[in-house]
Structure 1
């Protein structure tokens, strides 16, 4: 046996020994359960109220979805010029209303004059909600209108922006004032942003994994070091795939569930994918099509 071979075997043996030792010593720390996510059956959250079926983020959309029996809503939030928190997806108003310009350029009173149903187009190509009185809602209004619903709140703004720098503290003050700690989950693409929110919340509110945390979890899962991973979030809201990497697998869901992490899938638009993800253990769905989702849940899970 040559010297290089002996060195390689020695290094390999040392690596195996270190891995085996870490399996004995390292103990992943599961998340403490959060009341907001404590459901016995898979849940349906209407994305922006179910924006394939009614104007997004409007009373019409939320009310229609609630009548279907959904468990809650997934919404994005923005700050107005006078620093009010509104339920609004896009940075620019002209994507959904008859206004133009950035959301942050308008006060709440000004935005309340916008036609929030202006851009919604039905399957026939008509605009049935134009001029029907749909207005932009504040997060306060949504929470007060649907006190028994789970609201997944997405922090869209980067922590490097002015609006993003203010949002964590403002959101916490609102939730604290309303006593809404146990009926919301605060999520977002930026882990730093949810971490900043949690400085105020002190783990009293369910939080979701950002993009980097999801990648970190998947890397740990696919390596031999999954036993070293301790999650920093209570909820993973993920697509079926992350680029070319499959997240919608029974083994990955099981990996997260063992750590008491809830898994909600978004961007699911067809019946076959819904059923597949249900069968492998998905805890819930964030969907643009709540009617279809509720039909599938009732058919395969029951009331």
Structure 2
């Protein structure tokens, strides 16, 4: 037993020695890479982004929501995009229209004209359980082109929802880049996705000219390297991390992690933050962006405390 324990201790010591040696070697030879700051991030922080236009106050992704959000001085909109059957980019989250409209069907199987016929205020309820926006003329779907053109002073943080393995998903990166450049909106748009491959595919066209977010794989890699002491090995490929406060019991809002990312010129954002005290706490820790369903709450926070 004593011999087994001795061998185990020896093995642990060897492993520790290898790890320390590897850390020391990489620390000496690896140059930390820092992102250049894109024009998108050169306004004064913190940024407040209305999640889906501020879905706590009005039907998500509709002009009603975007109009309300602008009343509360948000810096931007956090939105999702999907491709229609006739290859129009629309501002929409779900694969199907059933949850938010009086219609049914998959977005990629419907034309823009089909979608324009639907009432996207149909299911929205206020705090009293009423449906104040049913039949409202601004409770309609909006295209990304319309959003960019109709809200010229607002930043847009968009998430590509279509899976890259689908036909719609395969087309979106190129169509999106073409639209952004046509409208001269390169400095107003941030492109992200849960699918890392969609971000990479988009950047094949953009070549670094448009701000990028980080997908799940990149966030995981950065966090693992940071926690294991090998943060100097991380090579950032994104301008911002927009992440939850906690994931599977792992806290992503520690001051050390925020400081690590900030030191690489990565803007750190958190979603969806709907309580004033939590917004305040994250801003105090150094968070750059707060994504919220309730831009009225963030408005009062900044007015009262900043």
TM-score normalised to structure 2 length: 0.94
The answer to whether the 8 A contact 1:44-1:286 is kept is yes
Aligned equivalent of 2:174, options 160, 169, 172? 169
What is the CA deviation profile of residues 131-159 of structure 1, one whole-angstrom value per residue up to 9, with x for unaligned ones?
Answer: 12121100000000111111001011111
What is the CA deviation profile of residues 21-62 of structure 1, one whole-angstrom value per residue up to 9, with x for unaligned ones?
Answer: 211111121111111122222010101110110111111110
Instruction: Classify 1:243/1:7 alpha carbon distance in 2 versus 1 (closer, same or farther; 3 Å).
Output: closer
Instruction: Give aligned pairs, total.
Output: 300
TM-aligned CA deviation for residue 181 of structure 1: 0.5
The answer to whether the 8 A contact 1:45-1:71 is kept is yes
The answer to whether the 8 A contact 1:58-1:135 is kept is yes
3-state secondary structure, aligned to 1:91: coil
Unaligned runs of 5+ in 2: none
Runs of 4+ residues over 3 Å off in structure 1? 2-15
Task: Find the counterpart in structure 2 of residue 227 from structure 1.
Answer: 232
The answer to whether the 8 A contact 2:51-2:272 is kept is no
Q: 1:130 and 1:70 mapped to 2: Cα distance?
A: 26
Q: 1:8 and 1:291 mapped to 2: Cα distance?
A: 54
Superposition CA RMSD, Å: 1.5
Task: Find the counterpart in structure 2 of residue 45 from structure 1.
Answer: 49
Q: 2:45 and 2:112 mapped to 1: Cα distance?
A: 38
Instruction: Classify 1:228/1:121 alpha carbon distance in 2 versus 1 (closer, same or farther; 3 Å).
Output: same
Q: 2:54 and 2:293 mapped to 1: Cα distance?
A: 4
Q: 2:134 and 2:15 mapped to 1: Cα distance?
A: 70
TM-aligned CA deviation for residue 10 of structure 1: 5.5
What is the CA deviation profile of residues 191-239 of structure 1, one whole-angstrom value per residue up to 9, with x for unaligned ones?
Answer: 1110000000000000000011111111011002111111111110101
3-state secondary structure, aligned to 1:159: coil
Aligned equivalent of 1:265, options 265, 270, 273? 270
What is the CA deviation profile of residues 158-197 of structure 1, one whole-angstrom value per residue up to 9, with x for unaligned ones?
Answer: 1111111110001000001001110010011011110000
TM-score normalised to structure 1 length: 0.95
Mean CA deviation greater in 291-300 or 257-266: 291-300
Unaligned runs of 5+ in 1: none
Task: Find the counterpart in structure 2 of residue 79 from structure 1.
Answer: 83
1:147-158 alignment, distance < 5 Å = 147-158=152-163
